[in-house]
A and B are shown apart, each in its own frame.
Chain A
Amino acid sequence: MKVHAPATVNEACEMLARAAAEGRTLRPLAGGTDLLVHWPSKSAAHEGEYLDLSGVSELRPLVWRDDALVLGALTTYWDVVREARVAAELPLLNAAARQVGAVQIQSRGTWAGNIANASPAADGVPVLMAYDAGVALRSSGGERVVPLSAFYTGYRASVRRPDELITAIEVPIRSRDVAVFHKVGPRRAQAITKIGVAITRLAGSGADRWRIVANSVAPTVVRCREVERLLDSGARITSAGGFMPALQADISPIDDIRSTAAYRRTVMGRLLYHSLLGACSSVV
């Protein structure tokens, strides 16, 4: 195992660039809460090469800009839980953060790591996507910001190039009149999501106001664009079943160790229906 410990973002990007040029896999490491699970028996991972970001202090802070909250790549869930202004202005981030594992995981796990790890069950991603977050990717060649909703290309795959580092997540601050997050896990705390859904609606009028983002029901965290269209169209939905045709197009849940496809589909419909019933009377 090789651990590289850069002190700056530039240094980190250079290391990634070199590794990419030489065809070596260099895996960025933040809190380690995914990588180190069952670590002693993961002998293949012991042979890997890692970019330990823990010494890159410029990646740490959470910063408020006028128009956005910027989470540094090392911002943890606990950093967000502690930040009172998040609960007031971007309440779903707070709601999601405090439902990740328990404090022991919240204190180590990072939002950027959650995005990069690209698990379909990622708990931090639905709320970020529902807030139209962008992912800042830096390489020695420069920086680009990719909308999180365009970040994933398939199961555990993303547009991030091997020479790119996630340096920040930008969460635009916009006025929303609906904001709901549900995490359905096998228990109330310390749980991996069986079905999760984040729901927002931009305040005001006009098209493209709804964001419905689900996890653990598709190969990636997924925006339910058919459901969004249905809601944007102003259709009246009078039962959980009313969401099913749109959901059929949006999600593709499977039977796995944690739940069943049928359960996931049913619960998605019921959660949408009851959430919108409570949050938005125009649905019914």
Chain B
Amino acid sequence: MACEDGRAMEVRLTLNGKPVRVEVDPRERLLDTLRYRLGLTGSKEGCGEGECGACTVLMDGVPANSCLVLTAQCRGRSVRTIESVDAKALGPMLASGATQCGACTPGVVMTALWVKENPGLRDSHTLRELMAGNLCRCTGYDGIIDGLHAWVESDARSGGAA
């Protein structure tokens, strides 16, 4: 299979749990497909070089920078964006001051969600190491780390993962 410049190519993937078919330019980044083609503008572009993490989505369950992924490469993959996250789950992050200006926040929440849903990660990594791919200029990170800690703990207390 090959695709010429300018000609749209079809990509089927699972997006937020639902099968989706998109026709995209082969040069299109996943971030642009999400934002400008599908109207999922929760993922932000902070740098376009895979550094800030504001565009973080989960690809097959693991955080990835959607600015560094061609949509064409998402064939058959599962992509989860901030739009799939239930606001009701985010109380601990709200209470801790995890968001200020909010531009980094959707990416922060996606990484945090992955940490929360994979308790084993915390055996080998610190929360700060796991969150190091999400640059934040407002909080100094305490609000984020404290919120994530509380989120993880609230899960432990209620006795189960989501």
Contact A39 B29 (CB under 8 A): yes
CB-contact partner of B132 in A39, A47, A189, under 8 A? A189
Check if B132 sits within 8 Å of A78, measured CB to CB: no
Residues of A within 8 A of B27 (CB): 1, 39, 46
Q: A residues within 8 A CB of B114?
A: 103
Contact with B along A43-77 (1 / 0, CB 8 A): 00011000010110000000000000000000000
Inter-chain contacts of A4 with B (CB < 8 A): 1-2
Whether, in the assembled complex, A145 has its beta carbon less than 8 Å from a beta carbon of chain B, the answer is no
The residue in chain A whose Cβ has the minimal distance to the Cβ of B107 is A104
Shortest beta-carbon distance from B118 to chain A in Å: 10
Contact assessment for A2 and B26 in the assembled complex, using a CB-CB cutoff below 8 Å = yes
Contact between B62 and A189, CB atoms less than 8 A apart: no
Contact A5 B50 (CB under 8 A): no
Q: How many A-B residue pairs have CB under 8 A?
A: 105
Query: For chain B residues 44-68, which have a beta carbon within 8 Å of chain A?
Result: 48-51, 53, 56, 59, 62-65, 67-68
Point out the residue from B1, B69, B133 that lies within 8 Å of A102, measured CB to CB. Answer: B133
Interface residues of A (CB under 8 A from B): 1-5, 29, 31-33, 36-40, 46-47, 52, 54-55, 78, 81, 98, 101-105, 107-108, 188-190
Can you list the 5 inter-chain pairs with the closest CB atoms, starting with the nearest? A102-B133, A189-B132, A107-B62, A104-B133, A36-B68
The chain B residues found within 8 Å of chain A, CB to CB, are 1-5, 9, 26-27, 29, 48-51, 53, 56, 59, 62-65, 67-70, 72-73, 75-76, 111, 114, 124-125, 129-130, 132-135
Q: A36-B69, A104-B111 are in contact. List 19 more A-B contacts (CB 8 A).
A: A1-B5, A2-B4, A3-B9, A5-B72, A32-B73, A37-B48, A39-B48, A39-B67, A52-B72, A101-B50, A101-B133, A102-B53, A103-B111, A104-B63, A104-B64, A104-B133, A105-B50, A105-B133, A188-B132
